[in-house]
Amino acid sequence: MNHITPASDQNALSADRPRRYAYVTPFVDVQTADDGFVLQAEMPGVSKTGIEVTVENGDLILVGHRESLDTSGDPVYLERRPADYRRVYELDPSIDTSRISARIDQGILTVTLPKAESVKPRKIALD
Amino acid sequence: MNIIRYESYPTLSNAFDRLAALREDMDRLFDSPFGSFFRTPGSLRNWSPALDVYETKDDFTVVVELPGLKKEAIDVSLHGDILTVSGERKADEKKEGQGFRTERFYGSFQRTVTLPAAVDAKKVKASYKDGILKVVLPKAEEAKPKQIEVSVS
């Protein structure tokens, strides 16, 4: 079974884990294919320097630090949340972690997770 | 003042989509990007990008979160003191035989803001960077605060 699931350990209490309410969960689209997965996470306000993509213990951790806007003035009406973005995914073991790549464009973080060559479906020829 | 956003509800399509989306939303309840109150499932909502409005004595700044758009796809227009930001984002085509799980919104959006004071339409500037649209609207001269001398006789 191939899947990426959100890790349930965001609830874990740990001294070195950031506190949950300091982060906001970004929307993510997941596209699956035979040769891997592509994630697209919405992180408006994050530029290339603010992205942290980490693979740790089979988890993929996406963090986006927002740039502070150079807006002056008093807030009249606020809907945006000022928190940074964070989302954790449990990686399917078939993913080749050394070939994970990421890029960001206009606030969309695209992470490509290719599967290892050996697990791609192969046709077996009949003798 | 605590402002609750208005969210519109299109007609229901697939009951199973609703249940699946509801399950995911329950898991993310307290980490919602739109606040900690209960949210309707994704398939029931239209795209309503979040916006902030700031005010200085000289201008208003309206900030809208619009990730993943080209600036040609964003329309910013001003009628009097009403600012309208609209546009459309098309979904990538789904390839055959592949799964696609979507949480992001697609389609068209529109947000309208009635500014608290008159603005100078000729001096409005809009920029789009890192998925954030920033519109700076300088106030019209007569709308700027003026100091009034108090004379004591």
ipTM: 0.72
pTM assigned to the model? 0.70
Tokens of B104: 């992001």
For A86, name the nearest residue in chain B, comparing CA atoms only.
B31
The answer to whether position A96 is within a domain reads yes
Nearest to B137 by CA among A68, A78, A76: A76
**Residue B2 scores a pLDDT above 50:** no
The answer to whether position A87 is within a domain reads yes
Using a CB-CB distance cutoff of 8 angstroms, which residues of chain A are in contact with residue B69?
A: 106
Count up the domains in chain A and report the number.
Answer: 1
Task: Break chain B into its structural domains and give their ranges.
Answer: 10-45, 49-93+103-141
**Residue B47 scores a pLDDT above 60:** yes
The domain in which residue A10 lies consists of: 5-67+83-113
> In 10 A of CB B73, how many CB atoms?
15
The answer to whether position A74 is within a domain reads no
Task: Give A85's contacts (C-beta < 8 A, 6+ positions apart).
Answer: A23, A24, A25, A26, A41, A43, A46, A62, A63, A64, A66
Using a CB-CB distance cutoff of 8 angstroms, which residues of chain B are in contact with residue A27?
A: 33, 103-105
Contact A31 B32 (CB under 8 A): no
Q: Which amino acid is at A90?
A: E
- Cβ-Cβ contacts under 8 Å between A and B: the total is 131
The answer to whether position A76 is within a domain reads no
Task: List the single range of B39-43, B113-117, B143-147 with lowest mean pLDDT.
Answer: B39-43
Tokens of A100: 């994970």
Contact A29 B131 (CB under 8 A): no
The pLDDT profile of chain A, 127 residues, written as one tens digit per residue, is 444 545 544 444 444 444 445 789 999 999 888 888 999 999 999 999 999 999 999 999 999 999 887 777 888 888 888 889 999 999 989 999 999 999 999 999 999 999 988 766 778 888 8
CB B106 within 8 A of CB B68: no
Which CATH architecture best describes the domain B49-93+103-141? Sandwich (2.60)
Please report where in the chains the tokens 């995914």 appear, as a residue: A89
